[in-house]
Amino acid sequence: MRVTIRVQPGAGRAAVGGRWMDPHAGSMLIVRVTERAVDGRATEAALRALAGALGLRRTQVRLVRGATSRVKTVEVTTPAADEPALRTRLDRLLATGDPDGTTSTPRG
């Protein structure tokens, strides 16, 4: 399964979730990482963060396109039987920023 992500390097905290809309590229999953975009560090951090958010090993997430771009195409490898659950987690991350489909309530 291929996933398009938009990486935001140098973020205050790492997070995976939310939707970035681009008129040409369409809908992308936002991946925020604290690493700067230097020597591929932000890209590697984004791939680790995406794997973690999807409940996968890092080796199951591979960069296909966009090594030096904020917009990246990633190949996610999983057994065919696990693909529906993976698609559900991805949809929830796009919609709520939470792979379980819940949102946190701010305390105050």
* Domain definitions of the chain by residue range: 2-96
For range 80-94, the mean pLDDT = 92
Average pLDDT over residues 97-107: 49
| pLDDT tens per residue, range 2-30 | 999 999 999 999 999 999 988 887 889 99
Residue 105: band (very low, low, confident or very high) from pLDDT cuts 50, 70, 90:
very low
Long-range contacts of residues 83-90, Cβ cutoff 8 Å, at least 24 apart: 83/1, 86/1, 86/54, 86/56, 87/1, 89/53, 89/54, 89/55, 90/3, 90/29, 90/54
Average pLDDT, the chain: 89
**CATH code assigned to 2-96:** 3.30.1200.10
Q: What is the mean pLDDT of residues 69-86?
A: 93
